[in-house]
Amino acid sequence: MRVAVIGGGGREHALVWKLSKSPQVDMIYALPGNGGIGEIAECVDIKTDEIEEILRFVKDVDYVIVGPEVPLSLGLVDLVGKHKGFGPTRDAALVESSKAFAKDLMKKTGLPTADFDICRVREEALLKIRGKKYPLVIKASGLAAGKGAFVVENESDAREKIEKLMVEKILGEAGKEIVIEDFLRGEEVSVLAFTDGKHFLPLIPSQDHKRLLDGDKGPNTGGMGAYAPVPFLSDEDVEKIIDRIFEPAVYGLKKGGIEYKGVLYAGLMITDDGPKVLEFNVRFGDPETQAIIPLMESDLMELILATIEGRLGEMRINFNAGYSTCVVLASSGYPGKYEKGKEITGFEDVDDAIIFHAGTKRVGGRFLTNGGRVLGVTATGDKLEDSIEKAYGEAEKIHFDGVYMRRDIGNRGVVG
C-alpha cells in the first residue's frame, strides 16, 4: 500500500522509519519531509497547513498519517475521509486546539486536573487572579506551538501576561480566551495511547525535557530530548491512567457526539495525589516518539489500520525490553534566532544509534541544518543508564557549527 505521512520533523522521521519496516507498506510519501526522511521516503514539497495541496496530492495514496496538530485542527482527516486518514477529526482535535474545551471536558467527566477558570474578557481574568495562591499558570486556549503557557510568580506577573495575551494579542486568536489554573508540583510524564474510540492500547510512558538548559532551566523549547519507558510508572500505573483518564475523556467526547480515533497524548503531572492532566495532545509527541518508536516491536501500520477500522480490541502492542534515550542536537540560538545552512558531518561514524532528522535539508550529497532542532540521536540499552551513555557517545560524533545539546537527558529517570 501507499501511505503519505504529513509533517517534516523528528517525529515524522521516526514514524516513516518504522513504517518502512512494515511488509504491507510499499511506498511512503512525506509532506514535506526533511533531509533524513528523503533517504527512505519520497519527499513532496507541500507544507502541513496547505490543505488544498495536500488533498490534491493524496488522492492516489491509500492512507494519510498526520503528524502535527495544525492540519488535524484544520480538519484534514475529515477532508480525506475517516477510512483513509489516521488521526482525530477537527472536532475531536479540539481537545488540543482549545484548552478551554479540554478543561471543560475534564471537569464534566471528573478527570483529575488542576482547578481552573476560563476567561474570555480581560476584566474577568484580572478579577480571577486576585487572592490566588502563586505560582499560578496562565495559558492561551488556542494552539501556540508550545509558547502559550506561562507560570507566573505573583499577581503583577499574572496581570502582565493577561494584558499581553488579551490586549496586545501577542499570540493572536490563540490568546483571545485564556485558562487560569493552579500550579501542580510533581514529575511530568507523557502517556500516549492508540484508541479507536472504544479500545485503548498504551505506548510505553516517556518523559520529555522541554527546557533549554540542564537542570530544567531556561526557556521552554519544542523538547530537547526524551527517554522511555519511565521507571517510576509501572504497567499497572499506566493501566490506571487509561481507566481513569483516557477512557472517561474519549467516552465523554462520544457523549457529546464526537468520535475520537488516533493517538491520544496526555501530558500528566504525577503529584502526591496521583496523576493529574496538564493537557491533551491529539497526536504523537515530539521528541517522545523518537524515544518510543525504536523500542516498538509491533508493526506500526497494523496498529494504524486497526485504529482506523475500529479493531484495536483484537490487537496487542509489544515493546522490546530495555530503555531508550533520544538526545536532541539544536542550532545555537534556538529557541530564539538561529542560523541555517551549516554543514552537518560525522554521520558515517555513528554505528550504535538511530539518527532522526528534524531541521535538515539535503543539498547535493551534503546535509545542511535547516531548523532550530536539527537531529535527534536515539540509543537503546538494557538499562536506562546504558541508553543515555550510548546516545551521548554517538551524538558527540556529529558536528555542525554551533551544535548545542543538553547534557542531562534521562537523568531524572535514573535519580527518580
Ligand X SMILES: Nc1ncnc2c1ncn2[C@@H]1O[C@H](COP(=O)(O)OP(=O)(O)O)[C@@H](O)[C@H]1O
Residues lying near Mg ion in the complex (CB under 5 A) are found at 267
Q: Is 210 in the site for ligand X (CB under 6 A)?
A: yes
Site string for ligand X, 216-255 (x = CB under 6 A): ----------------------------------------
Q: Which long-range contacts (CB under 8 A, 24 or more apart) does 98-105 make?
A: 98/141, 98/142, 98/177, 99/139, 99/140, 99/141, 99/142, 99/179, 99/279, 100/141, 100/177, 100/179, 101/141, 102/279, 102/280, 103/179, 103/181, 105/249, 105/252, 105/253
Q: Which residue lies nearer to Mg ion by CB, 267 or 393?
A: 267
Q: Which of 43, 95, 184, 228 binds ligand X (CB under 6 A)?
A: 184
Q: Which three cell numbers stand for residue 356?
A: 532522526
Amino acid type, 361: K
Distance CA 144, CA 412 (A): 27
Distance CA 342, CA 375 (A): 13
Distance CA 46, CA 53 (A): 7
Question: Residue 114 binds which one of Mg ion, ligand X, none, with CB within 5 to 8 A depending on kind?
Answer: ligand X
Q: Is 267 in the site for ligand X (CB under 6 A)?
A: yes
Distance CA 248, CA 385 (A): 36
Alpha-carbon Rg of the chain, whole angstroms?
21
Question: Residue 137 binds which one of Mg ion, ligand X, none, with CB within 5 to 8 A depending on kind?
Answer: ligand X
Question: Residue 177 binds which one of ligand X, Mg ion, none, with CB within 5 to 8 A depending on kind?
Answer: none
Question: Residue 149 binds which one of ligand X, Mg ion, none, with CB within 5 to 8 A depending on kind?
Answer: ligand X
Q: Which residue lies nearer to ligand X by CB, 184 or 317?
A: 184
Q: Which residue lies nearer to ligand X by CB, 61 or 328?
A: 328
Q: Which residue is nearest to Mg ion (CB)?
A: 267
Q: Which of 66, 111, 278, 291 binds ligand X (CB under 6 A)?
A: 278
Binding segment toward ligand X, per CB under 6 A, in 43-51, 163-171, 176-184, 249-257: 176-184
Q: Which residue lies nearer to ligand X by CB, 196 or 286?
A: 286
Distance CA 67, CA 139 (A): 23
Q: Name the 3-class secondary structure at 23.
A: coil
Q: Is 148 in the site for ligand X (CB under 6 A)?
A: yes
Distance CA 252, CA 249 (A): 5
Q: Is 161 in the site for ligand X (CB under 6 A)?
A: no
- Asked if residues 372 and 329 have their Cβ atoms less than 8 Å apart, the reply is no
Binding segment toward ligand X, per CB under 6 A, in 143-151, 292-300, 314-322, 406-414: 143-151
CB 5, min distance to ligand X, A = 22
Distance CA 209, CA 327 (A): 10
Q: Which of 46, 137, 171, 201 binds ligand X (CB under 6 A)?
A: 137
Chain centre distance of CA 15:
12
CB 90, min distance to ligand X, A = 18
- Beta strands 373-381 and 354-357 are antiparallel
Closest CA to 304 of 10, 6, 15: 15
Q: Is 158 in the site for ligand X (CB under 6 A)?
A: no
CB 93, min distance to ligand X, A = 13
Binding site for ligand X (CB under 6 A): 114, 137, 139, 146, 148-149, 151, 181, 183-184, 188, 210, 267, 278-279
